[in-house]
Structure 1
Amino acid sequence: MKTKKGTTGFVALAFAGGALFAGWASAEDAPVAQEAPFGSVAALEDAGADDADDGGDAEVGPAAPPKQTLAISADKSPRPKDSDWDVLGVERSFSPGSSANGCRLQNIREWVRIRCGGSTAQIAMLGGHHEEVSIKLDPVGSDEFVPFPEGGEIVFPVRTGDRRVFEWLGVEFGYKGMTSASTFLIISESWMPWDEGPTIYAR
């Protein structure tokens, strides 16, 4: 003869099983949402809706950069003083496609200064209009094992019809203090008569 406690447990188990079966049957009877084929218009729209629900986490591509780097007047002006660059110099970007290697580009009126840090072996102008071009090397650092300037700068005016190319040689340190010079940066500047402004490219 079954006890009252055992009968109650059996009834509860049967009730739970029936509820589970009913839930399973309901899930089977419910219509299944069909996923849109991968790459279809509907799939792309669904993906866009998901991104909107996530609070706009989707990455947005960068805006297209302008063709020219600087908007410069064709009027001539005196060369800025060295102290003017820290006060009046405006930070600019190199032309699209450049890889500046950490160098800075500034301008004051039609004058441009390009500064680079790091051990420098030589800065040379390979060709172009050399008038009013200034090339300076920073002092040699205090490290006796690195007897090279710690950077340098190029200053030049940018005017219609200009064409210039510079080569910046850096220093590579090898085994047991051996060093060699290698091209750190090639800088080209040009302003064709049909362009609205100059192109200053670094690579």
Structure 2
Amino acid sequence: MKDLLQRIKGCTHCSAHLPLGPNPVLAASERSKILVIGQAPGTRVHASGIPWNDASGKELRRWLGVSPDLFYDPTVFGIIPMGFCYPGRGKGGDLPPRPECAPLWHGELLPRMPDIQLTLLIGQYAQQYYLGKSRKKNLTETVRHYADYLPEFFPLVHPSPRNKLWQKRNPWFEEEVLPVLRFRIQTILQASQRR
């Protein structure tokens, strides 16, 4: 795993398309229990090199009910985005993750993480890649029917401040989905402490 992480961090595969240059951001261990698959780093994460080190990350940790110390322990949380580098800006925000990234590296990473008990699929790109045709008609319906994908996957909307309006329009997410998510996270954490 150590050699693979070094190879990924040195990747320049799509550097010609990256306005800030390559800086792959991820965290993983052979002992990771919960896998977080998001979209791609924003500018703040690109600058710091720390995944989810922004307002979205703070909200995600609130959703999960975990401290930053626990979230950044790679033996607990593996953090692998769909695109490891900042993709640049588009009209409505950041561009989508580079399409080359997940096919290039996820297939090498996941077999080296045999203890993963739950994979959080955050946003449409992760859900499209991992759920394929089993996704519902849109992201909202996929998240609403999260139980259809358990015990392997837990689809989530992106915790970006831009999605506050979505959360307001969909109160069932906070009331029904997040308690189940926190319960599953706590169950995994408690089981791993007993080992």
Q: Same fold by TM (over 0.5)? A: no
TM-score bracket, shorter-length normalisation: under 0.3
Question: What TM-score, normalized by structure 1, do the two folds share?
Answer: 0.22
More helix by share: 2
More strand by share: 1
Question: What TM-score, normalized by structure 2, do the two folds share?
Answer: 0.22
